[in-house]
């Protein structure tokens, strides 16, 4: 029941309307991303464009960080309230490159036409993958990625989460993916890398490249 509520656009709209923010993007997070995601480094070295999509972008803090790295990025979310905030915040951002945003329920809506197969260099899911129909989503990601494309996932690790504090009526604790799901996720790729975003590994990042056929339990 709680999980169902957590997954509706209405729930997220309420959360964002009440000013909910999630983990803020730090300089260290951006540096680790640039270090571990080869596609960006190569694009920067070769001065060629790099196309990314940010899935479950919320108010777009991470989307804007990607744009500030010179990446051509589009954020998708099914919360209209979040996207409205994201658009306003992006107008005020100091960056030559503006991200674009699009309303999309990843689990139920048709795939947007902008997601042309074989054209996306980076798909990012920052604190959003655990809300998605992962098996279906991964099948689609494999199709969208360019040959050297990367799926970059930032997620909480369920087993490492401390007991949740009382967060008020609009935010339910986010547990992320558990170790078994993370292992299954990695098995679907020939190149797997990763790093911890904090010393305890409560939040972790995976860099997945070169998909193989694999199913997510
Ligand atoms: C924990 S928030 C993370 C937001 C943002 N990525 C960040 O790092 O601040 C999870 C986001 O996933 C979005 N989301 C959840 N289920 C979704 C779905 N089925 N389709 C699109 N977005 C979804 C929510 O609206 C919410 O903005």
- The model's pLDDT over 61-71, given as tens digits with 9 standing for 90+, comes to 999 999 999 89
84 Cβ neighbours under 8 A, 6+ residues apart: none
Q: How far apart are CA 201 and CA 65, in angstroms?
A: 22
User: What percent of the chain clears pLDDT 70, i.e. is strictly above it?
Assistant: 87
> From the CB of residue 18, how many other CB atoms can be counted at a distance below 10 Å?
12
**Residue nearest atom 1 in ligand 1 by C-alpha distance:** 127
pLDDT, tens digit, 9 for 90 and up, residues 166-184: 655 555 566 799 999 999 9
**Residue nearest atom 14 in ligand 1 by C-alpha distance:** 56
Average pLDDT of 82-88?
A: 97
pLDDT, tens digit, 9 for 90 and up, residues 117-159: 999 999 999 999 999 999 999 999 999 999 999 999 999 999 9
Q: Is 106 in the pocket of ligand 1 (CB under 6 A)?
A: yes
| Residue 72 belongs to a domain | yes
Q: Is 79 in the pocket of ligand 1 (CB under 6 A)?
A: yes
Q: Is 61 in the pocket of ligand 1 (CB under 6 A)?
A: yes
Encoding tokens for residue 21?
């923010």
| Residue 217 belongs to a domain | no
| Residue 169 belongs to a domain | yes
Q: What is the pLDDT of residue 5?
A: 47
**Contact indicator for 82, 62 with CB cutoff of 8 Å:** no
Q: Which residue in 127, 130, 180, 177 sits closest to 157, CA to CA?
A: 177
Q: Which residue in 45, 33, 44, 36 sits closest to 192, CA to CA?
A: 36
Q: Is 137 in the pocket of ligand 1 (CB under 6 A)?
A: no
CA of 56 to the centre of ligand 1 (A): 3
Provide the pairing of β-strand 100-103 with 120-126.
Answer: unpaired
CATH code of the domain in which 143 resides: 3.40.50.150
- E strands in the chain: 51-55, 72-77, 100-103, 120-126, 145-156, 189-196, 203-211
Q: Given ligand 1 and candidates 3, 58, 132, which is best to mutate, with the most ligand atoms within 8 Å of its CB?
A: 58
Question: 82 is in which domain, residue-wise?
Answer: 2-211
Q: How far apart are CA 193 and CA 80, in angstroms?
A: 33
**Residue nearest atom 4 in ligand 1 by C-alpha distance:** 58
Tell if the pTM clears 0.85, that is, is over it: yes
Number of separate domains in the chain: 1
Q: What is the pLDDT of residue 119?
A: 95
Phi, psi of 202 (to 5 degrees): -65, -30
Ranges 93-102, 114-123, 205-214: which has the least confidence = 93-102
Q: Is 127 in the pocket of ligand 1 (CB under 6 A)?
A: yes
| Residue 166 belongs to a domain | yes
- Given a cut of 90, whether residue 27 has pLDDT beyond it is yes
**Contact indicator for 176, 199 with CB cutoff of 8 Å:** no
CA of 3 to the centre of ligand 1 (A): 14
**Residue nearest atom 15 in ligand 1 by C-alpha distance:** 131
| Residue 114 belongs to a domain | yes
């Amino acid at each position: 029941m709680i999980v169902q509520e957590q997954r509706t656009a209405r729930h997220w709209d309420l959360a964002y309307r009440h000013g909910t923010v999630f983990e803020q993007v730090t300089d260290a997070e951006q540096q680790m991303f640039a270090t571990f995601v080869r596609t960006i480094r190569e694009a920067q070295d070769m001065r060629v464009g790099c196309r990314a999509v940010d899935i479950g972008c919320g108010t777009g803090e991470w989307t804007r960080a990607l744009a500030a790295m010179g990446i051509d990025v589009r954020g998708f979310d099914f919360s209209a309230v979040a996207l409205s905030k994201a658009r306003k915040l992006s107008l005020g951002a100091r960056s030559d490159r503006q991200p674009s945003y699009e309303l999309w329920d990843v689990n139920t809506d048709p795939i947007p036409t902008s997601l042309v197969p074989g054209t996306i260099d980076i798909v990012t899911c920052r604190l959003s993958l655990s809300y998605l129909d992962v098996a279906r989503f991964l099948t689609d990601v494999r199709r969208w990625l360019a040959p050297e494309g990367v799926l970059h996932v930032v997620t909480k690790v369920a087993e490492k989460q401390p007991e949740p504090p009382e967060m008020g009526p609009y935010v339910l604790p986010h547990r992320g993916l558990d170790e078994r799901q993370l292992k299954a996720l990695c098995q679907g790729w020939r190149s797997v890398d990763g790093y911890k975003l904090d010393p305890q590994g409560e939040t972790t990042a995976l860099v997945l490249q070169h998909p193989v056929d694999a199913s997510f339990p």
